[in-house]
Structure 1
Amino acid sequence: MLCTDCCQSMVIMFEFCENEVMPITATLSLEVPALEGISRADDLELIEVMRKWAQARRAVDAGLAILAGVVAARSSLELGYDGLAQRAGARTADALVSQLTGTSGQEARAITSVGTMMSDPAAWLGEVATRVAAGDLSIGAAAAIQSGLGAPSPTVAADDLADAAHELLASANFLPPEKVARQARELRDELDEAGVVDRESELREKRFLRLTRQADGMTRIVGLLDPESAALVTDAVDAVTSPRRGGPRFVDATAAARAEDIALDDRTTGQLALDALVEMVRIAVAADDGRVFGTRKPAVRVHVTATDLARGTGVAHLEGQTSAVSVATVERLACGDGFLAIEFSDGGANSGAALRLGRSRRTFSDAQRAVLAAIWGGCAVGGCDRPPSWCEAHHIDEWLEDLGPTDVSNGILLCRHDHLLVHNNGWKIRRRGNDYFLEPPRGDPLHAAAIPLIPKNPVYHRGRANADARSRGPIRRPNAPPPAGDRAEGTA
Structure 2
Amino acid sequence: MVAELVPSPPPVVACLDALDEVLDSMSTDAYALLDPGLQRTAAERLRRIKARVTGQELAAIRALDAGLGDKTRTGEVLARGFGRDKHEADRSVRVAKALSAAPRTEDALASGELAETQAAVIAGAMDGLPDTVTPDQRDACETTLIADAKRFPIKDLRQRALRVTDVFKEPAEAAADEDEALRLRERSAWARTEMWMADDKDGTWRFGGRLPALQAEMLKSALDAIAAPRRRHLTAEQERDQDQLTYPQRMGRAFAALIERLPTDKLPTAGGTPAVITVNIDLDDLRRKVGAATLTTGTRISSGELRRLACTQGMLPMVFNGASLPLDMGRSKRLFTPAQRIAIANRDLGCVTPGCEAPPGWCEGHHWRQDWAHGATTNIDDGALLCSLHHHQAHDQDWQFRLAADGIIEVKKPRGLWQRNHRWRP
TM range (shorter): 0.3 to 0.5
TM-score normalized by structure 2? 0.46
TM-score normalized by structure 1? 0.40
Higher relative contact order (CA 8 A, sep 6+): 1
Q: Of Structure 1 and Structure 2, which has the larger fraction of its residues in strand?
A: 1
Structure with greater Cα Rg? 2
